[in-house]
Structure 1
Amino acid sequence: MPLFPPVTDTLRWGDLVEQGRSQLPLVAPGWTDQNTSDPGIALLELLAWLVEVDSYRSSAISDRERRLLLSLTGFAPAGPRSARALVRLTSSRTRVPAGLVATGVRSDGTVPLTLRDDVVVRGLSVEAVAHATGAAAEDDYRTGCHDLSREHGAGRPVQPFGDDPTIGTCLLVGLTAAGTVAAGSIDLWCVVAPGPWVPEAPGPRDVHHSVRTTWETWDGSAWVAVAEADTDDRTAAMTRSGRVRLVVPALPRTTLGDQDAGALAGRALAWLRCRIVSGRHDAPPSLAALHADVGEVAAAGPFAMDVVVPPGTPVTGSPLPAGPLDVATLALVCARDGTVEEVRFADPDDWPGLPAVDVVAFRAPTAALPGRLVVGAAVLGVALGVPDEVLRLPQPWCDAPPRLWAVPPGGVPVPVNVVADLAVAGAQDNAAVLEADGVTVRFGDGRCGATLPPGSTVLVSGTWTTTTGIGEVRPPLDVRLAEDARTVALLSTDAAGTRMDLVGSLLPGAPGEDVAATAARVDAALWVHDRLTGLADKHRVSSLDDLALEVVRRAGVPERAVTALDFERRVLATPGTSLWRTRALPDVDPRLPGLVADGCLTVAVVPWLPVDRPEPTRELLARVRADLASVRTLGTRVFVVGPSYVRVGVTATVVVLPGGGVEAVLDAARDAVDRFLHPVTGGPAGRGWPFGRPVRRSEVLQLLDQVPGVDRVEGLVLRRERADGTAEECGDLTICATELVLAGSITLTPASAGGR
């Protein structure tokens, strides 16, 4: 059933009359007088008129009414979102403050770029990247170290901790510098490569749920740990894109490891490393890029104004120092021609509900000389005080809705709340609504929202962007620092020596949602349970575990978990986790194997790691368990467990074709069995061995027979290998619903095909 009723007003009155006339020979063959004068025809035409009127009325639903209907579901159209990108900073100063605004110019238009956080500029660049095992340093990096510099320089993704990270595994980073890097802060930026190993939803914090890392510096003879208080790592152990800021001692340019046979021989650089000290990743992290001296920018700029304050204008209060720029809550009274008549500054706590704005520059007027005011706010206009008053923003807003407030002459400024629709505002509420064009602001009419006080000055603060800014900002882009008061205030005399260059895109922007897009989002959320069931029926499976992970991730995530499919989808989307598989088993209690446990549900989860035996950590199980506890239905008892493994030994005689290398064929056969009997790469579909699926002797026989160079297989025996070292021979090997298989000992005896 669609969210909105179908459009029925598709036929005109004449069409309806014609359809009615066409039915007369079928329903009333004796009716021969069909002139307009006939009373029956008059009734038919009247009925057609009534049908047309009803169809018109049922279809005459405005977008405003549709938005109100959507608000009942808790959804509202998403506003425009500006793009995010990374820029490299070059400056004569060591720290470029946040809030610096530049303009990007390219053929399809311009885009504002605002630095979201301060950036430490040390003139560094990443020259070498490698990963090493915990024992590699003891061997002077002759073994256990893999140089990733070529892949990183070519822009290919690299695994910073290898494909099977363990405690002690580390990422090595070599930085180029003109000489010794002086003690102080340095900035690195890690960009995670997209893929199924990335958590579908970010975790609640910048800290990984299991892994803890430490950063260390190389002083030429030993690794020195960077204190935890001097480390600001926002990457959650390299599982999300973010900045790493370290306060380091002086870093000499020196070599690392053996200079004859070491993996990093001949490189005199400033060295850092990130080492895993505890915990385990769910999946091996992958980085698309690693940068130094870069920062994140938003493709948006702040609303701002630079106005002249006439001589003699009364000024009350003063801005408060707050870093590079002063801040204050601002009350500005203007005449209808834009002339400033009064300026008032106040502490943000004095006028609650009003935003604190940046005061970029302020020079108070005197009796004879004008003053100047440059602030991060803009004047929309002077209100007439009429119902449904409309004012326009200077540019289209983006990201968070803009903040509005009105300043009556001689009165106290009042905040104006931005609402989804004025219908939710009372007659005394100061409210406004943002129209879909992104620049029009509509105020109340006295019944739904109060009218603005006549003569009040309406101000706005927030961010704006352009059409280019809601796309994807990527090179090439000519970035130019704005030559304005904000740049001078933030950089002082270093403005001429500061340069900003675009490195690459971080996150594309998006235009504001229209009603149709919001309705589609609501429809997907409301029917997510049915669509999960439909997805399983379409592929003729009973569990999402039988589908590819990329197919499952394209399905919606239910707000509540009711069915087994709901639980599986919620588990795979647990914030901050990277799971490869999950299986929900209704009426199963892991403490009571083989019995039907009404009201219980067991969820088995399988991460990617460790490669040889994937198992969840206690922290991962706790994270999944906490998420499911908040969405389960009352009365359902949920158990979250890791898989139980059954080791399967294989013994067989492999007859090798003449001319084939015996050892090569046997190695290929062992690898085939290892991959087939694996919880991540195994199974008939290659997506992991299915939960509870028996191991059939005929399938293993077929697998070995398909290995190139194998003529035939004789004497195949499967064994269930126990932890105590004993084994039980069997034909087909049956396993339980929460069990998976792993390849045990594989004994393949070669034989020649010559005697056949």
Structure 2
Amino acid sequence: MDFDFLTQLPKSDLDDRTFKDLVDECLLRLPRYCPEWTNHNPSDPGVTIIELFAWLTDQMLLRFNQVPRRNYVAFLEILGIQLQPPAPAHTVLTFYLTRAQDALRSVPVIPIGIEVSTEHSENEPAIIFSTDQELRIGLPWIRHFLTEERAGGLPEQVQNRLTNQWTRDEFGRWTGRQQPVFQMMPQAGDCFYLVFDAIEPLDGNVIALTIEGEPAGSTGINPNRPPRQWEAWNGVEWQPVLLREEDDGTRGFSFDDVERRGPSGLREAEVLLHLPLNWVPTTFSGYYGRWLRCRCQQSENDRFSRSPQLTTLLAQSIGGRTQASECSRVMNELVGESDGTPGQSFFLQSQGILARQDEEYLQVTPTGELPQRWREVGNFANSSAIDRHYTLDSRTGRIQFGPLIREPKHLQEEVQLRRQVQWQGHSFNQAQVERVETLERHYGAVPPQNALLHIVSYRTGGGDRGNVPRHALRVLKTALPYVRQVTNLEPGRDGADAESLEEAVLRVPRMLRTRNRAVTSEDYETLTLQASRAVGRVYCPQKQPGGLPGVVTVYVVPRVNLPNLEQGIAPEQFSLSVPLRNEIELFLGDRCMLGTQSFLQEPDYVGVSVQVVLGVETDFQQGAARLELRRQLIQSLYQLLNPLTGGRQGTGWNMGVPLYQSDLVRLIQNTLGVQYLETLQLFELRRETGWQRQLVTGGVIDPGLTGVICSWAEVQRQSAHRIQFLGEELEP
């Protein structure tokens, strides 16, 4: 019996030599073993004998390739194991408008599925991203202007600066007498808040905040590094919304080099703010709305000598941001026509199908009837003969309908029953008919004959090629009114290629122990890895931090491209993106025990910087050899201190495992060209200290129970490794 309804996995041969390869290999050995044989033409009898034995060997290899690995793959097919499809990269697309949003001439909604791509080149095809959510541009009406001295995490003792002091015109511009935004002698923590109307759809909007104030000469700050921070409350924390210092036209309220004048005759400039994708309306101190704040950050070198004075505030939406995935959407594709038999299969025109959404399904239209919506399932184990079910292999695009399974005795019993009716003249016995019917079973309904099959829509894409750099997506493939420019201010992340057969072979034993339910910590780790190809490593401690009953914390390290190991990977690149977090939480939520909640968290990344002075062998003291040795040492250090590929086993640095000085000594001394190690210093960088580089005196860096060692090169944080050879000066 052929199990055509099972998943089809690619097979790998133990020996992939063909008949031609065998013949060519024998002919290449003739000059060595039989130099007097010079006629290698196909007409030569000796060559004929070689081809004969090559054919016999090819037949042996054909059988040899069937076992044992191919049998193992066949067992995986019987279990219904499928290779995980590629994971799409995610990013945030920013759309800038030709004009600000206007109440009289409203900019229409940017819908789901808008495609933006990279520039097409001769060698590389364009990479297409599609928006995952619709983008609405609202009117940012300022309702309250508040200040607070030495504010903590949340607004508590605020002072209203608008009541009876400023007035608003029909365009939303607030004007009035000069208002200080901080104390007269500003202190660290001083804040002023802008509370926006909660009704307007401002999630992800880009606003231009027009500010008018007195000239900056008396503020006493460096306009290139103003001690202030623009932030918005996203429902969980204050999120920075000033992406670049160049976006602050006021130069930190100094209005340095600003010639533009406002209604009061004072200097006026704009601050460009990219608001959170989820800007949650919140109530603080009795004021309800969407909260934006500017916080004073004093330092010894950069300080306000007195508070800036403002006379005008106006907010306008000039664009918006929305989530996008690397995919192309296919609409209403004709799959084929049913012949009415069980176990039919069809192939979509594309491969690498992304996870289906609610509006992505198979539609079956029988002749003369209304279209029917069929439901996708993982397998047909629980499907009855009336269930409109189908399976879809995301990797190959294969649509499969349920089979008809007959017991071995079914044909014999059916023939015997027909013989009794046709030859012996007996009538059908209901008990006998039911007995025969129990020997066959339909797993899922069968589309009627001549019924047309359509996929309403689906998305195809995925792979690590979607991890594009910043500002790579600039080509708008769908015409949109009032859109001047589009770009990605964040790099593409979470893209991963499809699972290979070797990776599936390693995954299956753990999957069989888990049995698709999350109970133990190992179950949570295994299922999290299955949730998405974008997951690199997973840690679920057996002793949970906090000890809350029913809450399981899972630490996730996303898969990150490793294009250049000479620079390492900064901890910001390991942050969990919103789409990946949602995908994992949804996957685990269906498999957790009743009353158990999974909580995803990032490990506490601890940076390591190494400073080494060493002596090298004579052959490596000059020229290109010395440069190559330095490059090799730096690359080895970044590779060892990598959460994904580092560690003592080369499989990633485990959570909670400390770094000892001896680990680095062994690595350096085993490098070809190193004669001896003079000195070695360790420096650590932690998030809670602002990634400040600090010398380690104990010879060990302990990341803590939930920490992971990492390493990267950054000039501002001085996190790069430094290699000095004896006789030369240390590089800065």
Q: TM-score range by the shorter chain?
A: 0.3 to 0.5
TM-score (norm 2): 0.37
